[in-house]
Amino acid sequence: MKKFLSMVMVGVMALALSGAAFAQAPAGYVASKGGEKFHTTECPVAKKITADKLVKFATPDEAIKAGYSACKTCNPPPSADALVVTKAGGKYHKQSCRIVAGMDTANKVYYKDVAAAEKDGYKPCAICFKK
Ligand SMILES: [Zn+2]
Ligand SMILES: [Zn+2]
């Protein structure tokens, strides 16, 4: 029985890991009730919001719909499917790209779609836009 349980645990962990690798959006977004900005959960400002004032959103679209705008410190995406570029880089990425995970928050610039990014001269990333 014990052996069976540990095998189940390994299976669950493998599932959780593969799920994380394919996750589209980051963990979530938060805002302060009565505030103006919404944040990533990693933002130092977000960490100061007290539990009784904390509002949670699954996507940036939800936060914007609720009347919040993006925080300048943590620079959250303006929508769940916005593309990401860096000012110095020449490629645009999906938010789920591993290149995006390594980017400096302050350097991220968002585009609402491929057309907008290409208009500014950006090219698709070979990793996240691989055909
Ligand atoms: Zn923030
Ligand atoms: Zn990419």
Compute, in angstroms, the gap from residue 71 CA to the centroid of ligand 1: 4
pLDDT band (50, 70, 90) for residue 90: very high
106 near 75, Cβ under 8 Å? yes
Compute, in angstroms, the gap from residue 11 CA to the centroid of ligand 2: 29
71 near 42, Cβ under 8 Å? no
pTM, full prediction: 0.71
Q: What is the pLDDT of residues 5-29, one digit of tens each?
A: 666 666 555 555 544 444 444 459 9
60 near 28, Cβ under 8 Å? no
Q: Which ligand lies nearest to the CA atom of residue 103 in the structure? A: 2
93 near 84, Cβ under 8 Å? yes
Q: Which ligand lies nearest to the CA atom of residue 127 in the structure? A: 2
Q: Which domains does the chain have, with CATH numbers?
A: 25-76 (3.40.10.10), 83-124 (no CATH)
Q: What is the pLDDT of residues 44-67, one digit of tens each?
A: 999 999 999 999 999 999 999 999
Alpha carbon distance, N-terminus to C-terminus of the chain: 45
